[in-house]
Structure 1
Amino acid sequence: MITPTLVKPEVMAGTGFLGKHADEIYHLGTDDLYLVGTSEVALAGYHSGEIVDLADGPKRYAGWSACYRREAGSYGKDTRGIIRVHQFHKVEMFSYCRVEDAAAEHQRLLAWEEQMLAKAGLPYRVIDTAAGDLGSSAARKFDCEAWLPTQNRYLELTSTSNCTTFQARRLGVRERFEVEGRTETRPVATLNGTLATTRWIVAILENHQQPDGSVVVPEGLRGYLGGLEVLEPVG
């Protein structure tokens, strides 16, 4: 889905982004709308106030959108390149599932992220984020960090979060279930995960650059570049 980049306050609040990180979000005061920092927000609000059918398994979406972040508090760190910018594009995964299936769905999203990293030929590590570092919405979050040779450090490229029922309760997203012979409704679980951002370009160029300045195209990406194997410097 190509998702909206402007959302209502109730959707932004419902996803948990108007807490301690509210100063990182652009607010359009005249219209009382917010610019999203991730298409997770619009995808979470897509079924707001609805009863969704999960009888055949999770409802999975991929959102493509421009994203906007003020990067408040970054104090110039990594702001001269494309690592930390105010506007960028991102592909985001989003799942609605039963609470009992959330942990398995979380592992599925993480596996897709790791497959992407492997196709790009990037050395990486997976961080099981400490509880004290989690945002208000996530019950568990995995960060995938790729190695950056020029900075001699790992940089977060993707992350995936299991928000359990936090967002669904606030946005009124429910499912029907049977209990003691009667049908009731209950909140679903929501999960999200990044598949790709422009930040990936940094890791791909740095890890595959050759001494002459050329860059070897990872085998997993060559099919998308017409079979191109090497990016040659211009001039």
Structure 2
Amino acid sequence: MIDPRLLRDDPDRVRAAQAKRGLSDDVVDVALRADASRRSAIAEFEEKRGEQKRLGKLIPRAEGDERAELLARTKVIAGEVKAAESAQAEAERAWQDALMSIPNVAADQAPAGGEDDFVLLETVGTPRDFAAEGFTPLDHIELGRRLGAIDVERGAKVSGSRFYFLTGVGAELELALVNLAMAQARESGFTQVIAPSLVKPRAMEGTGFLGQAADDVYRIEGQDLYLVGTSEVPMAAYHSDEILDGAALPLRYAAFSPCFRKEAGSHGKDTRGIIRVHWFDKVEMFVYTTPEEAAAEHERLLGWEKAFLDKLELAYRVIDVAAGDLGLSAQRKFDCEAWIPTQERYRELTSASNCTEFQTRRLDTRARYDEGIGAVATLNGTLCAMTRTIVAILETHQQADGSVRVPEALRPWLGRDVLEPLRG
């Protein structure tokens, strides 16, 4: 959640951030009213409780009618204290609900607007000119069929639309990507993690995925568990309710997990192939650091993502995502989008988000510094989302005979230089 002090001291900044996201600022006024009601309820309870304590001290010294009057008043005040306590608890819940409904305050550098209002930061590499090479590129679906690597027909038969099988070299390619990503993460000082894909509601709510993104989340009925759409969720909750050693920060984790998304609102989009699917595997970087170091760590995460895409020899661009497309938790987000030849457009492969202290406030994660207990910031960044990365590799590195050249960095993990077609 946002810092309550910011809401109280500078509500206009929060209003401006809401406008930047294209959202109503009514939540700010609701939260301020809730805060005022909460403070009033606390004062009322403390006043009644104080009177109850005062009467309790007078009764032992009183006699006769005075004692009877005090006892009668004590009985009345006990009911008033109970009612005031209940009102205080209700006011506290309303205040917390109001705070939880407000997204992280977008960074000043984040562009205003929605999905199409991003700012282009950098373009890396040049998309291949297949016409100059004398052939028309095949899409990843046809390449996957010829290589025996992707089976969407049987995926749909077994599990429904937006599911698939990776077979043969397709499965090998994913495992090679996992190994390459984890090797880079280890060399960069990350602790490798295999994270659970089922989490309790608090983990989902704490990371902001039961807010704007709730429609895209799978819930396990009868068990009060959720399937995660990213290992950001379990990793953010990993140190929940803990006080970390500030001297040990940053804590960097690289977590592998399956990810599940309903893809709500994507009806008719990317219905063919494995660009937009209900399940995929991913290696996600997750960092706990000091609030002062968060912006610099954000740039480092982007640098690691770019280094990985460079190893895959892909053409890509880096964008500064607009505030309206940040999601609930992020203050600022960078996306790396790879060129997909048959679509003749860039598509998102990785994201790096600075969530500042938004998630740690919700999950009660703090750190002990020399000056005392203080806040911790969290950041997350995709190192490799398997399906989209496989699409980019197959389409970018295909050859005229239907084979696919393996990027040099992947060859030690894949054990071959070229993926050869099994059928025409």
TM-score of the alignment, normalized to the shorter chain, above 0.5 = yes
1:13 aligned counterpart, secondary structure: helix
Where do 1:146-161 residues align within 5 Å? 146-161=338-353
Q: Map of 1:1-235 to 2, 5 A cutoff?
A: 1-179=193-371, 184-198=372-386, 199-226=388-415, 228-235=416-423
Q: Give distance in 2, aligned partners of 1:170 and 1:206.
A: 42
CA distance in 1, matches of 2:369, 2:248: 13
1:159 positional shift: 0.5
Structure ID, larger Rg: 2
The percentage of counterpart residues that share the same residue type is: 66
Offset of residue 16 of structure 1:
0.6
Instruction: Write the distance in 2 (CA, Å) between the matches of 1:132 and 1:42.
Output: 25
C-alpha distance in 2, partners of 1:56/1:32?
Answer: 34
How many residue pairs match? The answer is 230
SS in 2 for 1:113: helix
1-structure distance, mates of 2:229, 2:411? 30
- Please give the alpha-carbon distance, in whole angstroms, between the structure 2 residues aligned to 1:141 and 1:65: 22
Distance (whole Å) between structure 2 residues aligned to residue 76 and residue 132 of structure 1: 22
State the secondary structure of the residue aligned to 1:122: coil
Question: Structure 1 runs of 4+ off > 2 angstroms?
Answer: none
TM-score normalised by structure 1 residue count: 0.95
**Is the partner of 1:52 in helix, strand or coil?**
strand
TM-score (normalised: structure 2): 0.53
Q: Which consecutive residues of structure 2, in runs of 5 or more, have no partner in the other structure?
A: 1-192
* Contact preservation (8 Å) 1:122, 1:203: yes
SS at match of 1:167: helix
Q: Aligned with 1:185: secondary structure?
A: strand
Return the letter of the residue paired with 2:376: V
Which one has the bigger strand percentage? Answer: 1
Q: What amino acid maps onto 1:216 in structure 2?
A: R
Contact 1:148–1:207 (CA under 8 A) maintained in structure 2: yes
Give 5+ residue unaligned stretches, structure 1: none
SS in 1 for 2:248: coil
Return the structure number with greater helix share: 2
Measure, in 2, the Cα distance between the counterparts of 1:129 and 1:48. 28
Aligned-partner SS, 1:55: helix
CA distance in 1, matches of 2:361, 2:391: 38
